[in-house]
A and B are shown apart, each in its own frame.
Chain A
Amino acid sequence: MTTPVLSARGLVKTFGRVVGLDGVDLDLHRGEVLAVIGDNGAGKSTLIKTLTGALAPDAGEIRLDGELVSFKRPQDAREAGIETVYQTLAVAPALDIASNLYLAREERRPGVLGSVLRMLDKKGMRDRAQQSVQELGISTIQNMAVPVESLSGGQRQAVAVARAAAFGSKVVVLDEPTAALGVKESGQVLRLVEQLRERNLGVILISHNMPHVWEVADRIHVQRLGRCAGVITPESHSMTDGVAIMTGAMALPA
């Protein structure tokens, strides 16, 4: 087996007396979609936040491509190649699609215009945004100059995913990407998730929607009461089994 692109060992995170993570292990390989499911309060979000730098674990280690890493801020994780698509999407509605794709990563014009006057390379960013959107096969978004607020929920999600795909060199984490979407738009986002896998990225998908998880995931990490209750696959277990493990009605042999 190759080295996992992202691996965590013995992650512990407590909030006062509340135990968020109680020694969690996780392995993510390139070209793989790992779903994380679990009941509310099982530690899904805490797990993801520690992996993406939003929270610092109290104990345990995180390795990226085998190298020990320690993220103090989300920016650290991002610079290391881990992109997160937040449930809230983190897009600025009044800015256009290209501006949102390059938000906080703006590119400047070459030469004096960029270095002294700090002028933005608007056209270049727009062209490259168009290119990355096309590469992902997102045909619902055409004009990069359209403000994000005029897009539908699915299109906004696509913008957020395209941003992660454009800059995430190793891992993309998606937090409930289909929670607010209808059937058709969910389908489009799941296709995007598959696109990310085809680009040989490691993908972590957090979702409450079992059919979606079973449709795209290669492996499923079941989180329960701060621990990993087991890792299953859509082939090895049914959705009913998954829910049973999630709720403790069924235990996996250790």
Chain B
Amino acid sequence: MTDTRTSISGGSGPARTGPPARPGPSAADELARRRSSPAQRVQHLLHGHPAISPALILVLTVVVFASLNPRFGEPQTISLMVQQTAVVAALAVGQTLIILTAGIDLSVGAVAILSMMLMAKTASENGLSGPVALLLGLVAGIAAGALNGFLVTRLKLPPFIVTLGTLSVFTAMALLYTGGRSVQQVAMPDLLNWTGEIIRVGDFRITTGVLITAAIYLVAGFALSQTAWGRHVYAVGDDAEASRLAGIRVNRVLFSVYVAAGLIYALAAWVLIGRAGAASPNAIAGANLDSITAVVIGGTSLFGGRGAVLGTLLGALIVQAFTTGLSLAGVDDQYRLLAVGVLVILAVSVDQWIRKVRA
């Protein structure tokens, strides 16, 4: 046996075992050359930058609706759209974190409502000051997330089942606690209503709630893309067993994700108080599916490990653009539902396609 301790290059395998050199291009080389078709290149681009497709859809949506009705592009309409998106967009950040770990959260709305009612009622009826009531609500969100996280990591229950259960539990708790009654704006301290305050930026009017949502995106986006924790969230969602073998404490990462999501839902609840001008236990009934819709349209994979909060923001804006645009066009609201449904299926199909990418 000869010693072939040469460097490992793609072209030269071990000479004694390699196939005889072929003259001219082989069939495989031909195939390799043919492979870089335009579709393949698009697939590669989307694989590297999954936010491109929702960005394109958003631009397309805005252009189409603006051309159908000039009012769509006016600062007033855009301001309103942004304000209306703020709550779902904030909730969808928490949902993104959980979906990145290959989980799903059906208790999104329930956690937010429970936190919100706790803030509102302790302030209005128990005379707690604004900051204390707010803090209590945030702690409630964290505790709710921790319960979900505990059930997922310790009892090893599937996230779908855990959050399906806690959806009912938290909803019932909120309704039992409030007796189904809302708390009006005037009964709440200024701090809780603060998220409804208008800020003028030129012709645009946004609320402080919108700024809180923006801050949530910035912090979550930074944590996911720039910190080791973010890497671990992606790795765990991608392949939990491989992550464990590589030395990641998978349960700790998962638990932290559910806790972070709980905190985000509670912050979204605060934004909701300002947006709705009241705290109602029957608000945001569609929050669960709306948040999942935003995440999926935003290009985050339901199978975990792929996606980003930027996509989720675009996804939430797309849904809102459809809602506003179709209503301005005077079309029946059912068409919005139809369009969003088609978009969801389209987004998941695109995700499946780009996952098959090969270098």
A binding-site residues for B, Cβ under 8 Å: 74-75, 78, 84, 86, 88-95, 99-100, 103-106, 108, 117-120, 137-140, 146-147, 149-151, 158, 183-184, 187-188, 191-192, 194, 215
The answer to whether A88 and B247 have CB atoms under 8 Å apart is no
**B235 cross-chain contacts in A, Cβ below 8 A:** 92, 95, 99, 103
Q: List 10 A-B contacts (CB under 8 A).
A: A88-B241, A90-B246, A94-B306, A118-B226, A118-B228, A118-B229, A147-B47, A151-B359, A158-B8, A184-B13
The answer to whether A139 touches B231, judged by C-beta atoms less than 8 angstroms apart, is no
Given contacts A88-B242, A92-B243, contact A120 B234 (CB under 8 A): no
Q: Say yes or no: is B227 at the interface (Cβ < 8 Å to chain A).
A: yes
- Is B24 located at the chain interface by the 8 A CB criterion? no
Query: Hey, which chain B residues are within 8 Å of A84, CB to CB?
Result: 245
Residues of chain B within 8 A (CB-CB) of A108 are 228
- Once the chains bind, are A150 and B8 in contact (CB under 8 Å)? no
Q: What chain A residues lie within 8 Å of B139 (beta carbons)?
A: none
Q: Is the CB of B5 within 8 A of A74?
A: no
- B9 interface residue, CB < 8 Å from A? yes
Known: A88-B242, A92-B242, A150-B359. A103 touches B226 (CB 8 A): no
Segment 139-193 of B: residues with Cβ below 8 Å from A: none
**Would you call B18 an interface residue if the criterion is a C-beta within 8 Å of the partner chain's C-beta atoms?**
yes
In the assembled complex, B348 has its CB within 8 A of some CB on chain A = no
Q: A183-B13, A183-B17 are in contact. Are A95 and B228 (CB under 8 A)?
A: no
Q: A117-B227, A187-B13 are in contact. List 6 more A-B contacts (CB 8 A).
A: A88-B241, A90-B245, A120-B231, A184-B14, A191-B6, A194-B5
> Cβ of A139 and Cβ of B8 under 8 Å apart?
yes
Residues of B within 8 A of A192 (CB): 8
Q: How far is the CA of A74 from the CA of B244 in the complex (A)?
A: 9
Shortest distance between the CB of B7 and any CB in chain A (Å)? 4
> Contact between B8 and A138 (Cβ–Cβ < 8 Å)?
yes
Q: Which of A74, A93, A158, A184 contacts B247 (CB 8 A)?
A: A74
A92 to chain B, nearest CB (A): 4
A109 closest partner in B (C-beta)? B226
Whole-angstrom CA separation of A92 from B241 in the bound complex = 9
Question: In the complex the two chains form, what is the Cα distance from A110 to B346 in whole Å?
Answer: 43
The interface residues of chain A lying within 8 Å CB-to-CB of B229 are 118
**Choice from B17, B228, B242, B358 contacting A91 with Cβ under 8 Å:** B242
Contacts of A151 in B (CB 8 A): 359
Determine which of A86, A92, A146, A158 lies in contact with B234 in the assembled complex, contact meaning CB atoms within 8 Å: A92
A120 x B248 contact (CB < 8 A): no
Residues from chain B with Cβ under 8 Å of A104 in the complex: 232, 243, 246-248
B 235-269 to A, binary, CB cutoff 8 A, 1 in contact else 0 = 10011011101111000000000000000000000
Q: Which residues of B contact A105 (CB under 8 A)?
A: 247
Chain B residue numbers with a CB within 8 Å of A89 are 242
Docked-complex contact A140 and B9, CB < 8 angstroms: yes
A150 with B305, Cβ < 8 A, contacts A95-B238, A103-B243 known? no
Contacts of B7 in A (CB 8 A): 137, 139
Q: Is the CB of B245 within 8 A of A74?
A: yes
The distance in angstroms between the C-alpha atoms of A85 and B305, with both chains bound, is 22
B306 — which chain A residues lie within 8 A by C-beta? Answer: 94
B295 to chain A, nearest CB (A): 16
Q: Who on chain B is nearest to A99 by CB?
A: B231
User: B207 to nearest A CB, angstroms?
Assistant: 28
Asked if B231 and A95 sit within 8 Å, CB to CB, the answer is yes
Give every chain A residue within 8 A of B359 (Cβ-Cβ).
146, 150-151
B242 touches A188 (CB 8 A): no
Are A215 and B1 touching (Cβ within 8 A)? yes
Is the C-beta of B10 less than 8 angstroms from some C-beta in chain A? yes
Find chain B residues with CB under 8 A from A86 CB: 245
B233 to chain A, nearest CB (A): 11
Which residue of A is nearest B16, CB measured?
A187
Residues of B within 8 A of A100 (CB): 246
Interface residues as binary, B201-245 with A (CB distance below 8 Å gives 1, 0 otherwise): 000000000000000000000100011110110110011011101
Q: How far is the CA of A191 from the CA of B9 in the complex (A)?
A: 11
- How long is the Cα–Cα vector from A142 to B184 in the complex, in angstroms? 62
- Please tell me if the beta carbons of B243 and A94 are within 8 angstroms of each other in the complex: no
Q: B8-29: which residues lie under 8 A (CB-CB) from chain A?
A: 8-10, 13-14, 17-18
**Residues of B with C-beta under 8 A to A138:** 8
Quick one: which of A104, A117, A215 has the most chain B CB within 10 A? A104
Please measure, in the bound complex, the distance between the C-alpha atom of A151 and the C-alpha atom of B10, giving whole angstroms: 13
Q: Is the CB of A150 within 8 A of B357?
A: yes
Against A, the Cβ 8 Å flags (1 = close, 0 = not) of B87-116 are 000000000000000000000000000000
Query: Is A187 a contact partner of B17 (Cβ separation < 8 A)?
Result: yes
**Closest residue to B306 on the A side, CB-wise?**
A94
The distance from the CB of B179 to the nearest CB of chain A, in whole angstroms, is 44
A113–chain B nearest beta-carbon distance, Å = 9
Give the docked Cα–Cα distance between A158 and B8 (Å): 10
Which residue of B is nearest A143, CB measured? B359
